[in-house]
Chain A
Amino acid sequence: DVKVTQSSRYLVKRTGEKVFLECVQDMDHENMFWYRQDPGLGLRLIYFSYDVKMKEKGDIPEGYSVSREKKERFSLILESASTNQTSMYLCASSHGEGGQYFGPGTRLTVL
């Protein structure tokens, strides 16, 4: 079975803090994705990566950056957290154009 893990299930941070969310997959997938999910807005793509050291902007990249130094790990960075970044953050991975497999999510609250 594909396993995608995320560093934290719940996180509380203060406005202006730098936040790191980490995601690791164990299936040697080349594609990795970060989404946020908000009530009424569904899943929105923040960034994705097709290969190590490669990244592409999704639909809502503003206020976020990413890092992919190793194939199995994809990090999402909030340089200066703001209250409107309070959300559920979901990481996913896939192979080719196949379906994506999600981690359990990180519920981030920014105070």
Chain B
Amino acid sequence: RKEVEQDPGPFNVPEGATVAFNCTYSNSASQSFFWYRQDCRKEPKLLMSVYSSGNEDGRFTAQLNRASQYISLLIRDSKLSDSATYLCVVNGRTGRRALTFGSGTRLQVQP
């Protein structure tokens, strides 16, 4: 089983739609969780941290469910510029500060 699993997609949604991604992780001792965004042929960029209480940043909402070991990302009112690959990230078995990246979920927002 992979340490971090994501549906690769692609998710094709129209502008203005709400879309949600889930991610599951296998290490129950993980303490840090993040969502990253990666555009084609660019480096990953930190989108948001995920806290136990959940957090929101504008149109983006992240949730953590420790009991079920999954993390979600909700994007409301999708924009064309949201088209990217979204990476779920947890701190993994190689140490608390070293992160394990999921393979990503591709989102394509269409006009």
A→B interface (CB under 8 Å): 31, 33, 35, 40-43, 45, 48, 50, 56, 58-59, 90, 94, 96-105
A42 touches B103 (CB 8 A): yes
Q: Contact partner of A48 among B42, B45, B89, B95, CB < 8 A? A: B95
Residues of chain B lying within 8 A (CB to CB) of residue A56: 94-95, 98
Residues of chain B lying within 8 A (CB to CB) of residue A31: 97
Q: Contact partner of A94 among B36, B97, B102, CB < 8 A? A: B97
Of residues A41, A99, A102, which shows the largest number of chain B Cβ atoms within 10 Å of its Cβ?
A: A99
A42 touches B102 (CB 8 A): yes
Q: Chain B interface secondary structure, helix, strand, loop or mixed? A: loop
A83–B105 alpha-carbon span in the complex (Å)? 28
Residues of chain A lying within 8 A (CB to CB) of residue B97: 31, 48, 50, 94, 96-97
Q: Contact partner of B46 among A58, A96, A101, CB < 8 A? A: A101
Q: Scoring B residues 58 to 80 as 1 if CB is less than 8 Å from chain A, else 0, what string do you get?
A: 00000000000000000000000
Residues of chain A lying within 8 A (CB to CB) of residue B26: none
Say whether B99 faces chain A, with CB atoms less than 8 Å apart.
yes
A94–B94 alpha-carbon span in the complex (Å)? 15
B→A interface (CB under 8 Å): 31-32, 34, 36, 42-46, 49, 87, 89, 91, 94-104
- Interchain Cβ contacts within 8 Å, total number: 56
Q: Give the distance to chain A from B92, nearest Cβ to Cβ, in Å.
A: 8
Residues of chain B lying within 8 A (CB to CB) of residue A99: 34, 36, 46, 49, 89
A97 touches B46 (CB 8 A): no
Of residues A42, A45, A58, A105, which shows the largest number of chain B Cβ atoms within 10 Å of its Cβ?
A: A42
Q: Contact partner of B98 among A33, A40, A42, A98, CB < 8 A? A: A33
Q: Which 4 pairs show the lowest CB-CB distances between chains A and B?
A: A42-B103, A102-B43, A43-B101, A99-B46
Q: Give the distance to chain A from B43, nearest Cβ to Cβ, in Å.
A: 4
A102 touches B32 (CB 8 A): no
Q: Known: A42-B103, A99-B34. Contact between A104 and B42, CB under 8 A?
A: yes
